[in-house]
Amino acid sequence: MIKRLTVLASKISPDDLVQVMMALRDLAESAVAVSKVNAARDVALEAIRQKHDLYRQAFDQLFAERREIIQKHFKVLDRGLATNDQAVVLGALQGLGQIVAKSPFMDLRLLAQALESGETIEI
């Protein structure tokens, strides 16, 4: 192998050798640039995945909680209607009004702001 390389080197002019070395350096630099772009893409892909997973988790939980509270109010309301208890009916209706008055879009906005600010978010 060394012998072959020695023979090859003896056939290459110094100028050619310099050209080859420069080409190899360009290749190395280009490869580094490509790997940087690839890394950036992978980071972006992972960030998108994580962010939307977080959104989905947060809103699945948010709507599940709302549904649970709403169902509890429905039970109270049914009881009030069955017993014709106006105060119980009123309490349940007002409670339902308060739940639906809180827009989940506002939560989305707050979550998006928190994500952009880099705050630690606990779910």
Partner 1 sequence: MVAELLKQIVTFGAAGRVEDAVGRYEEVLARASELEARIRGRQVEAKLALESLVALKRDCVPDLALVRSISKHLKAKERTFTAEVVAEDPPSVCVAQIESVLGPAELALGTARGLAAGASTAMGAWALAGSVGAASTGTALAGLSGAAAQSATLAWFGGGSLAAGGLGVAGGAAVLTSIAAVPALAVMATLAHLKANDAIARYAEETTKALLAIDTMEKQIVALDIADQRARELTEVLAKTREAYRQQYRVTLKRVYRFGWLSRALRWLRKLFGKDYFSEPEVAHIQGFLKCAVAFSKVLDQRVFELQGSAQEQQT
Rounded CA-CA distance 60/14 in Å is 68
Neighbouring C-beta atoms of residue 77, cutoff 10 Å: 18
Q: What residues between 21 and 50 interact with partner 1 by CB under 8 A?
A: 23-24, 26-27, 30-31, 33-34, 37-38, 40-41, 44-45, 48
Show the CA angle centred on residue 111, arms to residues 108 and 115, nearest 5°.
135
Which of 112, 114, 69 lies closest to 92, judged by CA? Answer: 69
Q: Can you give the binding site for partner 1, defined by CB under 8 A?
A: 8, 12, 16, 19-20, 23-24, 26-27, 30-31, 33-34, 37-38, 40-41, 44-45, 48, 51-52, 55-56, 59, 63, 66-67, 70, 74, 77, 80-81, 84, 86-87, 89-90, 92-94, 96-97, 99-101, 103-109, 112
